[in-house]
Amino acid sequence: MTEREFRFGVVAGKAPSGAEWAATARRAEELGYDTLLIPDTVHTYAPFAALAAAAAVTSALRLGTYVLSAPNRPPGLVAWESETLQQLSDGRFELGVGGGRPGAEHDAEALGGSFGTPAERLERVAETVAAVRKLEHPPPVLIAASRPRMLRLAAAQADIVALGLPPQSTEDELGRVIAELRESAADRFDQLELHLNSAAVAPRVDDLPPWLSHMVGGDPRAMAAAGGIAFLVGSPPEIADRLHQRRADLGISYIGVNALFMEEFAPVLALLRQASKP
């Protein structure tokens, strides 16, 4: 398997003001990140409007949903919004879609939708991808997956697969999910770009802030100490080596970083960019 070039995304959901949201997008671009990614929750900005605002103040930064909860919107609406943002951003949009994170049923209810059964959500993801693929200028499609049926759908239809494992998952568990994806994708596996998100970056486990607990659903220090894949702990060279090894072993080349830690990860990004130069 030919190794892909690294790509780097910043995951941000909100800011205290429009000016600060614009500043976040510009800073991500300045630091060399490839993509600004936004979640889809009722506690964060509405994704398409926020990404359009970010597109207006940047020139190279790509823009992605991470990820749309498919039950929240009809497929046709997603296609319409995607086509609009793809044009307004001059082709910089990437659609990320999934069946809904844990707790997303409350968002669907608040928005007047029906969360549905796992089978219905899987079908809605497939319908959304199909609607977007019919566009004149379709964006790349990311599907978030970790369980068998969604992995099979992603293997068949995605351009990018976001590996949506819990933050405390181990490298071995990550490897097993990728092995399942590889088996489902068969000859198509090498066409897939694999994405993994990082909740935090710190020099030492003890430097992880306790307030992360409400984001990761537990003690971040305990999770990181046990080898949780969502935590990048160490010096910039140590983290860069870990990500190189993860790419070599598992094929993960698209690295997402919580925007609250994008400054801390920037030296790692610079090292990985430098290493990729001829």
Q: In the structure encoding, which two tokens stand for residue 193, read together?
A: 């770009």
The superfamily (CATH) of domain 7-276 is: Luciferase-like domain (3.20.20.30)
Q: What is the pLDDT of residues 47-87, one digit of tens each?
A: 999 999 999 999 999 999 999 999 899 999 999 999 999 99
- Comparing CA positions, the residue from 62, 110, 103 lying closest to residue 86 is 62
Six token digits for residue 95: 């659609």
pTM of the model: 0.94
Task: Give pLDDT, residue 265.
Answer: 98
Radius of gyration, alpha carbons of the chain: 18
Burial of 276 (0-12, 13-18, 19+ CB in 10 A): exposed
Which of 140, 175, 172, 176 is closest to 159 using CA atoms? 140
Would you state the pLDDT for residue 276? 72
Nearest to 221 by CA among 204, 238, 198, 197: 204
Q: Where are the domains of the chain?
A: 7-276
Going by C-alpha positions, the residue among 167, 147, 154 that lies closest to residue 194 is 154
Please give the single-letter amino acid code of residue 182: R
Low-confidence ranges of the chain (pLDDT < 70): 1, 277-278
Per-residue burial over 44-76, b = 16 or more CB atoms within 10 Å of its CB, e = otherwise: ebebbebbbbbbebbeebbbbbbbbbbbbbebe
pLDDT, residue 1, reads: 55
Q: Which amino acid is at 96?
A: G
pLDDT, residue 118, reads 87
C-alpha distances out from residue 186 to 87, 158, 161, 192, Å: 34, 14, 15, 11
User: Residue 30: what pLDDT?
Assistant: 98
Which residues, at least 6 apart from 159, have a Cβ–Cβ distance to it below 8 Å?
Answer: 140, 141, 142, 191, 192, 193
